[in-house]
Amino acid sequence: MRLRRLFAATVVATLAVGGSAFAKFEPKFDLTLSDLSRGGNPQADIHLEFAADDEEIGKFKMTFPKGTVIASDEEIPDAAGPIPGRSERSGEEIGGGTVVIQAGPDCRPGPEGAIPVGAPVQLEATLYERSRTDAEQDLGVHAVWLLDLEPANRVRLLVTGSPKKGWSIEGAPTPSDNTCNPLVVDVTINATSESGVPIITNPTKGKKLVVTAEIESQDSPEVAKFKKVFKLTK
């Protein structure tokens, strides 16, 4: 996924002389929860979709309301040592899924991007917990989740907040000249970690659970906003 600074500058210049060129940023977002009972421990299935002519994904942010509990760094056991295939020491696996993205020379900026050579590639994604650094702890980070798409990318998701204030889960992929839209992401946050630690626990009070998502464009100030309202049961 690459930054199209030249493209953005061209759009601005076109508008300045009275043109009507507008960038498109209309990503799709969906979320399903497997357990909607109060105090339940759901699996969360996330779906993101970007068309070929969408601007590319920048920062992603998802929020859960107060009353929700999310497992802390301390609650999820650390790995005994380096895990094969992972470049960082980490905690337990907490999810995974697939990412389908266009890859090839046609994704590159400049003249190379005119070469019509590329194809969709499916990448296996692993979501695991990673111990916080001292700096992250100082910033009030509750937990760090890594969405590992190696060798293509790794997305660091910072979990901040508390049961009293609510939660934010946010991060951004590293821009790449070798991949681009269309992009389809299907990632699951498991109900529990490998050792059985609940990852997300629903509020024990209230009738609704409201989850929001914001997706920023990598190429412009555009932000797509979403809201999912779930009815909680006894």
For 61-118, write each residue's pLDDT tens digit: 999 999 999 999 999 988 655 555 555 557 899 999 999 999 988 898 766 555 667 8
- pLDDT at site 14: 30
For 140-196, what is the HEC assignment? CEEEEEEEEECCCEEEEEEEEEECCCEEEEEECCCCCCCEEEEEEEEEEECCECCCC
Q: Give the chain's domain count.
A: 1
Q: Please report the pLDDT score of residue 83 as a whole number.
A: 58
Domain limits for position 146: 5-231
Sheet arrangement for strand 223-231: 28-33, 44-50, 179-189, 93-103, 119-130, 141-149, 153-162, 166-171, 57-64, 208-217, 223-231
Query: What residue ranges of the chain have pLDDT lower than 50?
Result: 2-22
Q: What is the pTM for the complete model shown?
A: 0.85
